[in-house]
Chain A
Amino acid sequence: MGKIVPIKTQRAEADKLAAAISEIDGVEAEVAERVSGTNPRPVVLGNSSPESWRTLAEKLHSEHGVDYCSMVTGVHWPEGDEDKKWEIVYHLMRTGIRNPPIEDGLVQPVIVDPSTVRGSGTPLELELHVYLPETRTPSVDSVQDIWVGADWNEKETWDLVGIDFDGHQGMRRVLQPHETPKGFHPLQKQHHLRYHDFQDMYDDSQGFMRKPADAGKIK
């Protein structure tokens, strides 16, 4: 039988981590359950105020062994509550990976037996939300220097959603052209998808003269 991490171990570790980070000011965390297909899995689900996010990130990395930043997502909520107009979701993970030891000049691969993982070696999944109030220049502290994996994630979030990251070195457009107008971030909700008439494709193959078929109909 294939070995997987027992859900009990993961659940217990998640409870511990959630309790530990809840003690930081401005942070609330609990353990939620997500279901993938038929398997339930525990996730540490937390909220952090923008001021305490940097402290939380440092503590997670140095004290709780959260060593991997999976994804940074920005969401624009123009119709949301007054203090929740922008949301940043961090998906972090604890992998428990260490460099394999070297014995007699040979690397000894680390073969973790998933059914016997304990303590800080248990893989964990975290989902942390940071909400920002109504503002035209949303920004939150960068964690680029803690997890280098967050570097391009933050660049992408600024490029597409327009949320800036304080202290981020070398911010630039990554997916859109470099000459994209300043302040244009397509995943903000004031930009709507527009559709073109198929005939336009033949009259004007490059699309320079094209007007959206729904021009004037949308705000």
Chain B
Amino acid sequence: MTPVATPFFFYLLSGIMLIGGILVITRKNAVHSALALILTLLAQAALYLMLYAPFVAGVQIILYAGGIMVLFLFVIMLVSIERTMKERQFNKQWLVGIVAAGALGGLFIAVYTRGKEIFPDRGISLSETQNTQNVGTLLYGQYMFPFEIASLLLLVAIIGAVVMAKKRI
């Protein structure tokens, strides 16, 4: 199926993402911040869909919006909101903030102006209907070793979490 109104959806989703991102850092209530972050992540999943990457979009929804953010909320809900509301929002690190923002802005400008030279100018090579299958073949074929390393890292993290959380094993 051919895509419809691509620019409209791109700007809509990007707008939602930006607004969500700004809300995350400006809301005083941590629960509101977390909810805005979920909005941003969902819009990001929709952007992946527009990039013909349905598998990544689905994983994004399951892992980030449905899994990690639920655990975030779980913890935040137990924090006393009244105390965090009174605390200072930003810790006034102007120098570091300006340097970081300047570096990021410079990067954006570089990508915007010279992006065509840096990134290969190619059309979509993965077909939409075979996306998951292609991802699977690549992960378990060409990139088998890095993939297994990553899963080993995760295993170590899981065991570490269990060891740290439990006093007596």
Say if A and B assemble together. Answer: no
Contact surface of B with A, Cβ cutoff 8 Å: none
Contact surface of A with B, Cβ cutoff 8 Å: none
